[in-house]
Amino acid sequence: MDIRFSEEENAFRTEVRAFLQQAWTPELAKRIDADASYPQAIVEWQRRLFERGWVAPGWPRAQGGCDWTPTQRFIYDSERSAIGAPEVLPFGIKMVGPVILKYGSDEQKARFLPRILRGQDWWCQGYSEPGAGSDLAALKTRAERAGDHYIVNGSKIWTTYAQYADWMFCLVRTEASARRQDGISFLLIDMKSPGIRISPIVSIDGEHSLNEVFFDNVRVPVANLIGEQDKGWTYAKSLLAHERTAIAGVGDSKRRVRQLRELARRETQLGAPLLDDPLFGARLADIEIELMALETMELRALFEASKGKGPGAESSLLKIKGSELQQAIQQLMMDMAGLYGAVLGDSGHDFGNEARRSFMYGRAATIYGGSNEIQKNITAKAVLGL
Ligand SMILES: Cc1cc2nc3c(=O)[nH]c(=O)nc-3n(C[C@H](O)[C@H](O)[C@H](O)COP(=O)(O)OP(=O)(O)OC[C@H]3O[C@@H](n4cnc5c(N)ncnc54)[C@H](O)[C@@H]3O)c2cc1C
């Protein structure tokens, strides 16, 4: 879809392209793709963006952000995804950073924000627990005040990259009040504190990004409490709104579809290009049309945002449709890979391996960031008034 930008916006796009061409090197792409070098390489990517001043599009300029307009953010993201460069890790820049900016004390801002921008600390998100996922307010990890510390006991689950993390932003129960949301607090926990144990969870794709984290009498200084005790639910919710805005992944889906179309032009089936198969062509066209509609929806949300309106129920719609389309693309990739995609482990076939990995991990897209069923409930209430 051709989008008409203003002259200034076009100039910005040229600037973004020039920077990405120089900063997103094939060598870095290779290191990010390999499990062993991923942690250092993703931090290196963040450092390159930081040095250009572009690591935190949504932060105010005075705090090291770039104060981009929603359209500039859209342009950057389209250009980034078109060449396959990753987003920065969300936990610091997109999640805890905005919470500290809005609700943190001056000391907390001075201590944590510069390190988040430079990627010096790796953050993880300690929200979910066994028995508290969609129903997050059911969380049970306790923090009891003892002088100038909290003593934390309990466990978190599905904690992405806890094994690399220096810090966790964590929801804990500080009061067993009648309304469950009222007794929750937002703590910053040093992952090197005595009493923390991390247990890996290997997911269906064979990868280790998820973990369980156990807390056994972990001492956390009261200075690491964000805002007021028992008011953490408010801060936690503001973070979730940020989490859902960029979740449609339109740019990345467009790149994948372009790759599939290219591959289908080269691959043959019974002597003819796969792309000439009417059934295959129709499936691909369906996805492309839906993707175009999703992009239009995203642009509409962008237009609202440029008038100063925050993300509303449309972010739920973007999440639902975006993740469904990601899964439709992964399904098509698996069908194209055929038996190569079915091999668990290395099939010796690059596309087959990629199809299997992205299909397997892709199952999670309709679960994380608030499951699609929950997003449908939100939409039913906020849009349909049910
Ligand atoms: C890859 C991945 C990474 C993650 N990373 C993190 C992380 O870093 N930190 C973190 O804190 N959490 C993380 N999570 C956890 C994620 O936030 C939860 O999995 C999610 O909130 C769902 O919770 P649950 O798994 O407990 O499922 P449940 O809440 O038990 O839901 C099970 C099923 O029931 C449905 N359901 C539940 N309630 C309703 C309802 N009211 N109406 C209709 N349907 C309903 C759900 O949609 C789902 O299909 C991650 C999850 C995944 C898959």
Tell me: the pLDDT tens digits for 39-70?
A: 999 999 999 999 999 999 989 999 999 989 88
pLDDT in the model for residue 80: 96
pLDDT band at 269 (very low <50, low <70, confident <90, very high): confident
Q: Give the CATH number of the domain where residue 12 resides.
A: 1.10.540.10
Whether 300 maps to a domain, the answer reads yes
Asked if residue 306 has pLDDT above 80, the reply is no
Residue 130 Cα: closest atom of ligand 1 = 26
What value does the mean pLDDT of the chain take?
93
Q: What is the mean pLDDT of residues 281-299?
A: 94
Whether 99 maps to a domain, the answer reads no
Residues 254 and 367 in one domain: yes
> Would the CB of 364 count as within 6 Å of ligand 1?
yes
- Whether the CB-CB separation of 129 and 156 falls below 8 Å is answered with yes
Q: Cα-flanking dihedrals φ and ψ of residue 161, to 5°?
A: 55, 30
Q: Give the domain extent around 323.
A: 249-382
pLDDT in the model for residue 252: 93
Asked if residue 243 has pLDDT above 60, the reply is no
Residues 196 and 129 in one domain: yes
> Would the CB of 137 count as within 6 Å of ligand 1?
no
The domain boundary, picked from 230, 263, 292, lies at 230
Residues 358 and 257 in one domain: yes
pLDDT band at 301 (very low <50, low <70, confident <90, very high): confident
Give the residue among 207, 243, 251, 202 at the shortest CA–CA distance from 33: 207
Q: What are the residue numbers of the active site?
A: 243
Whether 2 maps to a domain, the answer reads no
Residues 15 and 136 in one domain: no
> Would the CB of 38 count as within 6 Å of ligand 1?
no
> Would the CB of 134 count as within 6 Å of ligand 1?
yes
pLDDT in the model for residue 248: 85
Q: Cα-flanking dihedrals φ and ψ of residue 271, to 5°?
A: 85, -5
Whether 236 maps to a domain, the answer reads no
SS3 (DSSP) at 269: strand
- For residue 156, the CA-to-ligand 1 centroid distance in Å is 13
Residues 259 and 372 in one domain: yes
SS3 (DSSP) at 154: strand
Give the contacts of 113 (CB within 8 A, at least 6 positions apart): 63, 64, 97, 100, 101
Q: What is the mean pLDDT of residues 254-277?
A: 92
Asked if residue 109 has pLDDT above 90, the reply is yes
Q: DSSP assignment of 347-379, as one string?
A: -S-HHHHHHHHHHHHHGGGGTTTS-HHHHHHHH
Residues 255 and 375 in one domain: yes
Q: What is the mean pLDDT of residues 231-236?
A: 95
Using CA positions, which residue lies closest to atom 2 of ligand 1? 368
Whether 108 maps to a domain, the answer reads no
pLDDT in the model for residue 311: 67
Query: Structural domain tally of the chain?
Result: 3
Residues 170 and 82 in one domain: no
The encoded tokens of residue 187 equal 């703590």
> Would the CB of 5 count as within 6 Å of ligand 1?
no
Whether 367 maps to a domain, the answer reads yes
- For residue 48, the CA-to-ligand 1 centroid distance in Å is 33
Whether 101 maps to a domain, the answer reads no
The domain boundary, picked from 43, 67, 88, lies at 88
Using CA positions, which residue lies closest to atom 14 of ligand 1? 158
Residues 83 and 140 in one domain: no
The verdict on pTM exceeding 0.85 is yes
Mutate which of 198, 367, 376 for ligand 1 pocket (most atoms within 8 A of beta carbon): 367
Q: Give the CATH number of the domain where residue 291 resides.
A: 1.20.140.10
> Would the CB of 375 count as within 6 Å of ligand 1?
no
Residues 60 and 169 in one domain: no
Q: What is the CA radius of gyration of the chain?
A: 22
Residues 257 and 377 in one domain: yes
Residues 305 and 343 in one domain: yes
Asked if residue 245 has pLDDT above 60, the reply is no
Lowest mean pLDDT among 10-19, 27-36, 151-160, 313-322: 313-322
Q: Which tens digit of pLDDT belongs to each residue from 181-229?
A: 999 999 999 999 999 999 999 999 889 999 999 999 999 999 999 999 9
- For residue 210, the CA-to-ligand 1 centroid distance in Å is 13
Tell which wins on pLDDT, 4 or 363. 363
pLDDT in the model for residue 133: 96
Using CA positions, which residue lies closest to atom 52 of ligand 1? 368
Residues 221 and 135 in one domain: yes
Whether 100 maps to a domain, the answer reads no
